[in-house]
Amino acid sequence: MKIEAIYTRQSVDRIDSISVESQAEYCARELIGNNYKIYTDKGYSGKNTDRPAFQQMMQDVVAGRIERVIVYRLDRISRSVLDFANVIDVFQKYSVSFSSTMEKFDTASPIGKAMLMIVMIFAQLERETIQQRVIDAYASRSKRGFYMGGRIPYGFTLKEITIDGIRTHCYTPLEVESTVIRQIFSLYAQPQVSLGDVVDYLKAHNIKNRKGEPFNRSRIRDLIVNPVYVKSDYSIYSFFKTQGAEIINPAEDFIGTNGAYLYSGDSTKRKTVSLSGHTLVLAPHEGVIDSDIWIQCRTKCLHNQSVAKPMKAHRTWLAGKLKCGCCGHALVAKVQPRKHKPDVRYYLCSYKYATKGDCTFGSLRADDIDALIYEEMRNKLSEFSVLSKKQPETNQGVCRLQSQIKEVDQEIQALVQQVSLASAELMKYINLRITELEQRKKDLCARIYDLEHQPQVDTQEITEYLQCWDQLSNSDKVSVVDCLIESIYASKNGLKITWKI
Ligand SMILES: [Zn+2]
């Protein structure tokens, strides 16, 4: 059975302020039944609704335990019209009627309803005023470096706005994309739903990102922790406050409309773990996700941080060179023990294996890959042994280029000497010619640089190494590979080797 609630509040004991006991007495006269509870906050001001008994009462309202709330005066709820309107909103949502003894304010009566509407209109006005203040404050902040450039988050597009006579941009929700955003949040808010489930859901419904690619877990994660989507209200303010973020706007500006930006002091740090050193600022655009859902999702995300499993790096002479042909991350060797048979080594994509990244790389037998690469290196060297005979020509080439540079220098000098005697017409010619010559000198220097920095690999020595490959230590193999190969991208379709020689 539902109860009636009497709420009393007194900030300080003063002779002219009515005591909580008297307030309760007045309110009790308005009671309809006998089943009631008194909620009392003594020593709390009405500047916000952050009071223990009040919060307890609101919880009971949400839990459906209360059918009516009675106060001595409206300002017992809050001195802020906005707070008051928000509280009334909650009352209406849970069918709680509300009476105030002094103002004869009873939402069950027609006049009470009319008054309520007036209060709501004033609250809306205040909301808009605050929003304007947020926009103005944001503009002055953007001049101090809080410019909102960069990639436009999924769900938004840019629109032009004018703040203080300055034309700038602000995000505005895209209908289709914000529907996706809402879906993502409402899915992930369910306790049993994982990031992977969200990815699967989007895949199944053929929902792709802006590039037309499927969403992956890390993108979804980044999206969920980004406060750009939240309708920032007081709970967002206290959430970020307790996480240690610096908050630019005053608490009362968090009215549940604007999105927010989180700036990190150190841009290389991910904006997830601790938020100290981070700055939160209200943005001029409207958020799309209710704060309770957003906090739920973000908190869940933080608790589910995928910690890379310690992976026993198996020694492979391709370490550092071998990359996943699908996503570009390193391949790692993993050993699978087998009964009665020798172990098998596989190459797995580290991104997929360790961080459950979105990559389609399966696995490749390490022995096959190693043998293939060994073969490729032998082939490369046999073709190179012919090329390497040209080595002396490199030196000749450098000499020839250097003498050309000398000629250019001489001509420049000769021209400079003529300058003092030259007519205007001739000056024009001299200037042109000097520019030309300087460019030519630059080109020649660049060619010398290229020649001199051609890889100087002792192919003879490496060929010998390859001939006794199986007797080499792992680290010797690594250095041989490092002499020859820049990178190897492996996939089911084969190898793509970038050579250093
Ligand atoms: Zn991969």
Straight-line distance from the first to the last Cα atom of the chain, in angstroms, rounded to the nearest whole number = 85
Q: What is the pLDDT of residue 63?
A: 93
- Distance between Cα 156 and ligand 1 center (Å): 30
pLDDT greater than 80 at residue 380:
yes
Task: Please report whether residue 337 resides in a domain.
Answer: yes
CA of 225 to the centre of ligand 1 (A): 25
Alpha carbon of residue 175 to chain centroid: 21
DSSP H or E stretch at residue 40: strand 36-42
Q: Which of 49, 26, 50 is nearest to 38 (CA)?
A: 26
For residue 238, give Cα distances in angstroms to 221, 231, 251. Answer: 22, 14, 8
- Domain assignment present for residue 145? The answer is no
Claim to verify: residue 351 and residue 426 sit in the same structural domain:
yes
pLDDT of 200-247, one tens digit each? 999 999 999 888 888 988 889 889 989 999 999 888 998 898 888 888
Q: Specify the range with the lowest mean pLDDT, choosing from 123-137, 274-288, 297-311, 471-485.
A: 297-311
Whether 372 and 435 map to the same domain: the answer is yes
Confidence (pLDDT) at 224: 92
CB contact at 8 A, 161 and 284? yes
CA distances (Å), origin 400, targets 447, 448, 449, 456: 11, 10, 13, 20
Higher pLDDT residue, 383 or 487? 487
Task: Give pLDDT tens digits for 17-33.
Answer: 678 888 999 899 989 98
Rounded to the nearest angstrom, the distance between the alpha carbon of 346 and the centre of ligand 1 is: 14
How much of the chain exceeds pLDDT 90, in percent?
22
Distance 237 CA to ligand 1 centre (A): 39
State the distance from the centre of ligand 1 to the C-alpha of 351, rounded, in angstroms: 6
Average pLDDT, the chain: 81
The residue among 40 and 350 whose pLDDT is bigger is 40
- Report pTM: 0.44
Residue 150: predicted pLDDT: 66
- Cβ-proximal residues to 377 (8 Å cutoff; 6+ apart), any chain: 466, 480, 481, 484, 485
User: At which of 69, 85, 108 does a domain end?
Assistant: 108
Do 256 and 268 reside in the same domain of the chain? yes
Distances (CA, A) of 328 to 9, 374, 377, 491: 63, 21, 22, 10
Query: How many angstroms does the Cα of residue 68 sit away from the middle of ligand 1?
Result: 60
41, 47, 49, 50: CA torsion to nearest 10: -70
C-alpha 356 – ligand 1 centre gap (Å): 10
Going from the Cα of 330 to the center of ligand 1, the distance in angstroms, rounded, reads 8
How far, in Å, from the CA of 375 to the mean position of ligand 1? 24
Domain that holds residue 44: 3-108
> What is the domain-level CATH number for residue 216?
3.90.1750
Residues 219 and 85 in one domain: no
How far apart are the CA of 483 and the centre of ligand 1, in A? 25
Q: How many angstroms separate the CA atoms of 33 and 97, rounded? A: 14
Is residue 388 over pLDDT 60?
no
CB 270, CB 287: distance < 8 Å: no
- For 222, the enclosing helix (H) or strand (E) is helix 217-224
Distance in Å, CA 323 to ligand 1 centroid? 8
Most confident range, picked from 1-10, 38-47, 454-463: 1-10
C-alpha of residue 242 to centroid of ligand 1, in Å: 38
| pLDDT (tens digit per residue) in 61-83 | 999 999 999 998 888 888 777 88
Question: What is the pLDDT, as a whole number, of residue 415?
Answer: 80
Check pLDDT > 90 for residue 488: yes
- Three-class SS of 90-107: HHHHCCCEEEECCCCEEC
Residue 91 lies in a domain: yes
Q: Kindly tell me if the per-residue pLDDT of 320 is higher than 70.
A: yes
Distance 325 CA to ligand 1 centre (A): 7
Alpha-carbon span 104 to 73, nearest angstrom:
9
- The H or E element containing residue 412 is helix 391-418
Q: Are both 439 and 318 inside the same structural domain?
A: yes
What is the residue-wise DSSP string for 332-385?
A: EEEEE--TTS--EEEEEEHHHHHH--S-----EEHHHHHHHHHHHHHHHHHHHH
CA 204 to centroid of ligand 1, rounded, Å: 22
In the reported structure, the alpha carbon of residue 271 is separated from the centroid of ligand 1 by a whole-number distance in angstroms of 24
Q: What is the mean pLDDT of residues 329-333?
A: 86
- Report the separation in Å between the CA atom of 77 and the middle of ligand 1, taken as the mean of its atom positions: 57
Q: Judge whether residue 121 has pLDDT over 90.
A: no
Q: Which of 136-145, 408-417, 486-495 has the highest mean pLDDT?
A: 486-495
Beta bridge partners of 214: 208
456 CA → ligand 1 middle, Å = 33
Q: State whether 245 and 176 are in the same domain.
A: yes
Last residue of a domain, one of 258, 288, 303: 303
Domain membership flag for residue 135 = no
Task: Specify the residue for token string 């006794």.
Answer: 468
Task: Tell me how far the alpha carbon of residue 352 lies from the centroid of ligand 1, in angstroms.
Answer: 6
Ligand 1 centroid distance, CA of 480 (Å): 26
Same domain for 297 and 345, yes or no, is no
Task: Give the chain's radius of gyration (CA, Å).
Answer: 36
Q: What is the mean pLDDT of residues 345-359?
A: 82
Could you tell me if 328 and 220 lie in one domain? Answer: no
Instruction: Kindly indicate the confidence band of residue 39, based on its pLDDT and cuts at 50, 70 and 90.
Output: very high
The predicted-structure confidence for 431-465, as pLDDT tens digits, reads as follows 888 888 888 888 888 888 777 766 556 777 788 88
Widest CA span in the chain: 116
Whether residues 374 and 234 fall in one domain = no
C-alpha distances (whole Å) from 99 to each of 62, 87, 96 are: 18, 13, 10
Q: Are residues 262 and 349 in the same domain?
A: no
- Cα 489 to averaged position of ligand 1 atoms, centre (Å): 10
CB 73 within 8 Å of CB 101: yes
CA dist., res. 41 & res. 57, Å (int)? 11
Q: State the distance from the centre of ligand 1 to the C-alpha of 470, rounded, in angstroms.
A: 29
User: In this structure, what CATH number is given to the domain that contains residue 99?
Assistant: 3.40.50.1390
Q: Phi and psi of 494, rounded to 5°?
A: 130, -165
**CB under 8 A, 24+ apart: contacts of 17-24:** 18/72, 22/72, 23/71, 23/72, 23/76
Q: How far is the CA of 326 from the centre of ligand 1 (A)?
A: 5
Domain contains 420: yes
Could you tell me which residue, 422 or 65, shows the higher pLDDT?
Answer: 65
Report if residue 125 sits inside a domain: no
- Residue 258 inside a domain? The answer is yes
What b/e readout covers 76-86, taking b as 16+ CB neighbours within 10 angstroms? bbbebbbbbbb
Lowest-confidence region among 92-101, 298-307, 431-440:
298-307
The Å distance, Cα 170 to ligand 1 centre, comes to 36
248 in the same domain as 216 = yes
Digit-coded pLDDT (tens) for 257-301: 889 988 765 544 444 455 777 888 888 888 999 998 999 898 888
| Residues 456, 362 share a domain | yes
Residue 20 belongs to a domain: yes
CA of 333 to the centre of ligand 1 (A): 13
Please tell me the predicted confidence (pLDDT) of residue 385: 59
Final residue of a domain: which of 278, 303, 328? 303
Kindly give the distance from the C-alpha atom of residue 484 to the centroid of ligand 1, in angstroms, as a whole number. 24
Tokens of 145: 């470096």
Ligand 1 center from residue 206 Cα (angstroms): 22
Looking at the structure of the chain, the number of domains it has is 3
